Structure 1
Amino acid sequence: MKWRALGAVALVVSAAVHLKLWFGGVRDQSVGPAFLVNVVAGVVIAVLLLTWQHWVPAFLTLGFGLSTLGAFVISTTVGLMGVHSHWEGFAVFAAAISEVVCIAVGAALLLAARSAKAHGTTVRSRAA
């Protein structure tokens, strides 16, 4: 459960950063709707991760981290939908770190679920 709690905190941090940026003016850019989707998805996945002992929330956590961090990396290199971001500011690093945590926790939970299935145990009795 500690891994799931850590993942949920990371999801909420990323969602909070995206909400702050959305209110800070990103909503008027082409990526505005995507930021709002990140806010809702982060909160929903965090709730699922804490309440549903299944591999699906872990998979969603991994995918959330990969997609949000990937989109930011693209925006800092070649640009994303006309937006060219920079690795500057607290919000950027808070979101990036939380998304790396989402990737690590999602992967760890998926591996734990796979290992538990191979050994015929439940995920709850193992690392999750």
Structure 2
Amino acid sequence: MTTISVGRRAGALTWLLRIAGAVLLAAMSWIHLDLWQDGYRTIDVIGPAFLLNAVAGFGLAALLLVTPGPLVGWVAALGALTAAGTLAGLLLSTTVGLFGFTESTAAALWWESFWVETAAVVVLAVLAVLARRRRT
């Protein structure tokens, strides 16, 4: 296999991961915006956090698609950390409570949120590592 074909395959994989990561971040954002509109906005601390999560996720999704190659790893890492923090908040709110709020796995979009955030962490972490390796 030639160096050119290896480079093309790595470039194609990077773009596939960028698109998948952007879709997952946008899905995470949509879930939080939808829940915010459905009533979570009235919950102290949680409501503003959901709205901030939606804005940050949509922004990171867009940034992931337009960022020049050398900076993709940084954006992917930031996206992975955002998704991991969101997932941690979901799990904390379901187990011990978060800011006085306790969630249930029976809540609307709980499982969708769990799987989207988990997938986002994995995809974006892989992209961050792959982008870092391509730079060196």
TM-score (norm 1): 0.87
Q: Write the letter of the residue equivalent to 1:26.
A: Y
| Aligned residues between the structures | 118
Check the 8 A contact 1:13/1:94 in 2, yes or no: no
Q: 1:11: how far off? A: 0.6
TM-score (norm 2): 0.82
Superposition RMSD in Å: 1.2
CA distance in 1, matches of 2:127, 2:61: 14
Indicate the residue corresponding to 1:36 in structure 2. Answer: 51
Indicate the residue corresponding to 1:84 in structure 2. Answer: 102
Which residue of the other structure, out of 119, 129, 134, is the alignment partner of 1:101? Answer: 119
CA distance in 1, matches of 2:74, 2:64: 9
Structure exhibiting the larger radius of gyration computed from Cα positions = 2
Q: 1:61: how far off? A: 1.2
CA distance in 1, matches of 2:131, 2:29: 26
CA distance in 2, matches of 1:117, 1:62: 19
CA distance in 2, matches of 1:94, 1:78: 20
- Which ranges in structure 1 are unaligned for 5 or more consecutive residues? 119-128
- Which ranges in structure 2 are unaligned for 5 or more consecutive residues? 1-14
CA distance in 2, matches of 1:62, 1:21: 21
Indicate the residue corresponding to 2:28 in structure 1. Answer: 14
**Within-5 A mapping of 1:33-72:** 33-52=48-67, 53=69, 54=71, 55-72=73-90
Identity of aligned residues (%): 35
Indicate the residue corresponding to 1:125 in structure 2. Answer: none
